[in-house]
Amino acid sequence: MRVTLRFFARFGELLGNSREIDISEGTSLADLVREVARTSSEGYQAIFDEAGSFHRYVILMRNRKRIRPEDAETMLVADGDEIAVFPPVAGG
């Protein structure tokens, strides 16, 4: 299966902005992000806490629909999915 994983703002600076990734069937959204985030210790620490859970401020989207980080643990990624990971958004 092939999915697109996009990181934005600071996360993109640390991990690259966009990647197409081949994954195994049965991969959860959280495991997908963890696997890629582990390529940079700073990137991993920016997205995950010491227990390996998403920081509360991380914004996740699957196919342009926001999902809760706690749901990402059990949500399986499907072929063609686009996953987006955002840091907190501020502005005015």
Domain ranges in the chain are: 2-86
Categorize the per-residue pLDDT at 92 as very low, low, confident or very high, splitting at 50, 70 and 90. low
pTM: 0.92
Q: Is the dihedral of CA 55, 15, 84, 25 positive or negative?
A: negative
Q: What percent of the chain has pLDDT over 90?
A: 95
Note the pLDDT tens digit of each residue in 23-57.
Answer: 999 999 999 999 999 999 999 999 999 999 999 99
Lowest-pLDDT choice from 59-63, 78-82, 85-89: 85-89
User: Is 48:37 a contact under the CB 8 Å cutoff?
Assistant: yes
3-state helix, strand, coil in the chain (%, to 5): 30, 30, 40
Q: Which fold has domain 2-86?
A: Ubiquitin-like (UB roll) (3.10.20)
